[in-house]
Chains A and B, each alone.
Chain A
Amino acid sequence: DSGVTQTPKHLITATGQRVTLRCSPRSGDLSVYWYQQSLDQGLQFLIQYYNGEERAKGNILERFSAQQFPDLHSELNLSSLELGDSALYFCASSVEGGSETQYFGPGTRLLVL
């Protein structure tokens, strides 16, 4: 158990809908990262937050947004969902967000029908 929690574990929705994925980092970690893993593909970095502020942006679509709240939990919002958004979404956390180990949550499996 990494100490990073993600909810929900599974999510099934329809095209055009909007969903919110939630992540709680390990106790003491200030930085949160979001990744997407599509079928049989590697991890794609989406976005990073550090202590409530956006720090780095990767391959995140404009239809997606995220935020980190004062209690350091983070939410990833996916809107106008398309079939191709079906994937595993992982959250990771680290202490400060630099060159250091990231610890991953169990992921949320999103299925868009």
Chain B
Amino acid sequence: DQQVKQNSPSLSVQEGRISILNCDYTNSMFDYFLWYKKYPAEGPTFLISISSIKDKNEDGRFTVFLNKSAKHLSLHIVPSQPGDSAVYFCAASSNSNYQLIWGAGTKLIIKP
């Protein structure tokens, strides 16, 4: 049972436009959500996180939105840059479970 789902395996966006990556979860006990970026053959790099007590967190070009009622979160990147091309993973955790539960990832391709 996939508790964290990223339904889009890939996404192609024009440079300079907004990239929106989506993530859905099923476990209402999740209270902390993270986005990681991963280049091939490298470790995931932490990008941004959000606690369940907030609905938005912003860091530079990256903004994460959390809709608890819909059990949905999204990562907005604006403006998109060529260096943003990577695989993006959504992850979630709860205080009752020490594991991060990971989505399958979305490959973002930024077209020049």
Which residue numbers of A lie inside 8 Å of B, CB to CB? Answer: 2, 4, 31, 33, 42-43, 45, 48, 50, 55-56, 58, 88, 90, 92, 97-107, 109
Q: Are A106 and B42 in contact (CB under 8 A)?
A: yes
Structural contact, A55 and B98, CB atoms closer than 8 A: yes
Give Cα A79 to B44, complex, Å. Answer: 26
Pick the residue among A42, A50, A99 that contacts B94 (CB under 8 A).
A99
16 A-B contact pairs sorted by A residue (CB < 8 Å):
A2-B43, A31-B98, A42-B89, A42-B105, A43-B102, A45-B100, A56-B98, A56-B99, A90-B44, A98-B95, A101-B34, A102-B34, A102-B46, A104-B43, A104-B46, A109-B41
B97 at the A interface (CB under 8 A): yes
Interface size, chain B (Cβ < 8 Å): 23
Residue of chain B at shortest CB distance from A55: B98
Q: Does B49 contact A (CB under 8 A)?
A: yes
| B interface: dominant SS | strand
| Contact A45–B99 (Cβ < 8 Å) | yes
> Which 10 pairs between the two chains have the least Cβ-Cβ distance?
A104-B43, A99-B32, A42-B104, A99-B93, A56-B98, A104-B44, A43-B102, A106-B43, A107-B43, A97-B98
Q: For the complex, give the distance between the alpha carbons of A65 and B31 in Å.
A: 30
Q: Which residues of B contact A (CB under 8 A)?
A: 31-32, 34, 36, 41-46, 49, 89, 93-95, 97-100, 102-105
CB-based contact A102/B100 at 8 Å: yes
Please give, as numbers and ranges, the residues of chain B lying within 8 Å of A97 by CB-CB distance: 98
